[in-house]
Structure 1
Amino acid sequence: MKKFIAIFFLMLMAASVLTVPVYGLAITPESLQSRSAILINADDGQVLFEKSSNDKMAPASITKIMLLVLISEKMDRGEITLEQELTISENAAGMGGSQIYLEEGETQTVENMLKAISMRSANDASVAMAEFLFGSVEGCVKAMNDRARELGMNDTSFMNVTGLPDPNHLTTAHDIAVMTKELLKYDYVNKYMLTWMDSVYVGKEKDSEQVLVNTNRLINNYDGLLGGKTGFTNEAKYCLSAAARRNDTTLIAVVLGSDTTKIRFAEIQKLLNEGFANYKNIIFHSRGDVVTTVPVYCAKDESFNVVSKENIYYFTESNCKVEDFTLEYEIDENLKAPLGSEVPIGKAVLYKEGKVLGEYLLYPEKNIDKEGFFSFYLNNVLENIIK
């Protein structure tokens, strides 16, 4: 099919196509005290730094990131709401470790449970949500493992929803980064992850106030933090997964097996700082932005807007230049209405030095309806007669 081609000198990239070479950072695996660590670009999952990132280790409460993913997915599908209430079981109320001291038989809202999980890492709230979502903890654990397989977390095995010690409850820094990346697709828990202090009332009479102080101290001192999840058990030691965004660049850092809480926070900041200093995303079109306008036949209007359904960007080392890249829009010729907004009508192609780096489908901004005969007659035939 013939194409209408528009050429622009821009920088563009979709993550799944181009692998950007990773240049040396000022940190080395030997310079970190944590047993395992990783730094990735949150948009495409590209690994920028790693230290024993595929070693299977106990994740402690970082486990709850997957629980939050499942909760977010159900909220996104409209299956649950923040205002919904759940009844606390004996099993949930009896959970040890970090908790908000829920009572058997009391009712709580989904929102309060999300606060407790995100801020205090409450085990009783986690079990209550697992039972509410899937009927049982076992059902939720199965869903967590199934979702892990779907995400390619092949070195992860969840045995519970809390992260309490179990010799078979293991994952890796790499897999934690993957599920953190998945959680970033949603914003249902961002508010709570970034709240320093709040409280919930518990008990059948709601007469006991539980003050929640976020376990992630980066909230108060790291610019651009999007959220994170801490974890600690004697077996796992101190762990942390955190995401941050500056300008158009979003990074995820994970550290496992830190001897002190001070080390985990310091090394997460070191990883993120190095990433932001050496790499950047340049976004030329956000998802839904109009990228060009093209002519159309048999429609009320003579042209329509063309959009991309994904961010058009390029992830690169910080000194890369826009002029190094060429972007072409190849749009089908002689487009005629009707056109659906879900049917591609062309593509954008990225070149560098004559080499194709990526191709991205383009769509009409909205459905383009065919002009009716009467309207066509009035707008065209009569207009010509009058002239």
Structure 2
Amino acid sequence: MRKKIAILFFLMILILNSIGINTYAVEAEQLQSKSAILINADDRQILFEKNINDKMAPASITKIMLLVLISEKMDKNEIALNQEMTISKNAAGMGGSQVFIEENEVQTVESMLKAICMRSANDASVAMAEFMYGSEEGCIKAMNDKAKELNMNDTSFANVTGLPDPNHYTTAKDIAAMTSELLKYNYVNQYSTTWMDSIYVGKNKDSEQVLVNTNKLINYYDGLIIGKTGYTNEARYCLSAAAKRNDTTLIAVVLGCDDSKIRFAEIQKILNEGFANYKNLIFHKKGESISSSTVYCGKEEEFNVVSKENINFFTNSNCKVDDFKLEYLIEENLKAPLSADSPVGKLILSKDNQILGEYNLYPEKNIEKLSFIKFYFDNIADKILK
């Protein structure tokens, strides 16, 4: 049995090295956090793990999912930063971290976002939940539905704040997944990476609440783009953070740390190792012109060919673009009309004769069919006259 395990292990190393992925330098036993993970944000490839499927209390990291729902609604123009809401008794009475909003006072979405992202305010979180879904319960259902959509199979939300509850738990792996989802949007990034700000609360807006971000990484970690801390006696000190350097974006999560210094130190350690060992090579960016192609019977004779996604590959830091082969296969004798949503070819990415990915290619825009009269005069009539 040991011999079989050893053979499988070395085969795994050979496969990983053949496509340019190194083994990770940090050992799980070296970390004091109870659970930790590092992933590539683009494809959620796991680069490092420690007890990533252990169900644990997430504390205020819970609010990442709330921010996902807020971002979705902003993206659909269902809510806006300057929209106002009236604070309920329920929201104003929330304990724990808060900005001391009062019952019946009027607040804006932007002020509540600042309070959630920077102070991790429970009262602001409940206020936003009620504003978006009519009740906290409605928002909790939406959070759990979104968790299922993201395949967060070991997650159960019982509130929007992260306050202790036996039915409120998640895992490092699931937290990384919802952090990756939040990165699809940029509505909250500026608040998550702002060190200090303030909002005015109270019915007369006569009380200034100075907000100091709970995420100290803002001040000294290069490339940090988002982060959310959490703490309760049950969860201990937690943190989920994403950082970007050049074209590489990594997400790290640590849970169950004994003090705040440990969570910041271990997040940095994990991220640093990731950036030292891996990088994301981008061959073509989403929407950029890759090549051009001719089309018959169209109002235009040529059109630009694009991809609807980044064409990239996550690999070790020693690889370079020239190590890869890109083969462009565009259909011949294309006829109008062409839809921007229908593929006209594909790009095959390979390395050392191993196919790593295939990507559909599309027209940059719809190509309309030339009218018969226009086609006649531009082609047939012109030839007759000649």
Normalised to the residue count of structure 2, the TM-score between the two structures is: 0.93
2:118 aligned partner, one-letter code? M
For the 8 Å contact 2:283–2:321, the answer to whether it is kept is: no
Deviation at 1:331, TM superposition (A): 1.4
Distance 1:62 1:166 in 2: 14
Deviation at 1:212, TM superposition (A): 0.6
Deviation at 1:255, TM superposition (A): 0.4
Tell me what 2:12 maps to.
none
For the 8 Å contact 2:21–2:278, the answer to whether it is kept is: no
Distance 2:125 2:218 in 1: 22
Question: Cα gap change, 1:220/1:30 in structure 2, threshold over 3 Å: closer, same or farther?
Answer: same
Write out aligned runs for 1:93-242 (5 A).
93-242=92-241
1:306 aligned partner, one-letter code? V
For the 8 Å contact 2:19–2:351, the answer to whether it is kept is: no
Q: Is 1:87–2:91 an aligned residue pair?
A: no
Q: Is 1:34–2:33 an aligned residue pair?
A: yes
Tell me what 1:7 maps to.
none
1:95 aligned partner, one-letter code? M
Q: Structure 1: state its 5+ residue gaps.
A: 1-18
Deviation at 1:22, TM superposition (A): 4.8
How many aligned positions are there?
369
Q: Is 1:246–2:238 an aligned residue pair?
A: no
For the 8 Å contact 1:284–1:312, the answer to whether it is kept is: yes
SS at 1:315 equivalent? strand
Distance 2:324 2:65 in 1: 38
Deviation at 1:60, TM superposition (A): 0.5
Distance 1:230 1:351 in 2: 40
Distance 1:21 1:301 in 2: 42
Q: Is 1:308–2:307 an aligned residue pair?
A: yes
Indicate the larger mover: 173-182 or 298-307.
298-307
Distance 2:209 2:86 in 1: 18
Q: Is 1:271–2:270 an aligned residue pair?
A: yes
Distance 1:137 1:222 in 2: 35
Distance 1:198 1:323 in 2: 46
Distance 2:136 2:38 in 1: 31
Deviation at 1:353, TM superposition (A): 3.3
For the 8 Å contact 2:62–2:160, the answer to whether it is kept is: yes
RMSD: 1.5
Indicate the larger mover: 371-380 or 303-312.
371-380
1:249 aligned partner, one-letter code? T
Distance 1:381 1:154 in 2: 63
Deviation at 1:357, TM superposition (A): 2.2
Distance 1:354 1:238 in 2: 47
1:254 aligned partner, one-letter code? V
Question: Cα gap change, 1:325/1:222 in structure 2, threshold over 3 Å: closer, same or farther?
Answer: same
Deviations 1:219-273 (A, max 9, x none): 1101110010000111111100000000000000000011111111111011110
Deviations 1:311-351 (A, max 9, x none): 00010011124343322111111101111111111111123
Distance 1:180 1:20 in 2: 27
1:174 aligned partner, one-letter code? K
SS at 1:50 equivalent? strand
SS at 1:102 equivalent? coil
Deviation at 1:53, TM superposition (A): 1.1
Percent same amino acid at aligned positions? Answer: 72
For the 8 Å contact 2:257–2:263, the answer to whether it is kept is: yes
Deviation at 1:20, TM superposition (A): 5.8
1:354 aligned partner, one-letter code? N
2:105 aligned partner, one-letter code? E
For the 8 Å contact 1:107–1:204, the answer to whether it is kept is: yes
Distance 1:87 1:201 in 2: 14
Tell me what 2:358 maps to.
359
Q: Is 1:332–2:335 an aligned residue pair?
A: no
2:307 aligned partner, one-letter code? S
Task: Compare the two structures and name the one with the higher helix fraction.
Answer: 2
1:359 aligned partner, one-letter code? E
Distance 2:358 2:130 in 1: 44
Q: Is 1:373–2:372 an aligned residue pair?
A: yes
For the 8 Å contact 1:37–1:255, the answer to whether it is kept is: yes
Q: Structure 2: state its 5+ residue gaps.
A: 1-17
Indicate the larger mover: 315-324 or 236-245.
315-324
Deviations 1:103-158 (A, max 9, x none): 00011011111110000000000001111111111111111111111101111111
Deviation at 1:168, TM superposition (A): 2.1
Tell me what 2:11 maps to.
none
Question: Cα gap change, 1:20/1:148 in structure 2, threshold over 3 Å: closer, same or farther?
Answer: farther
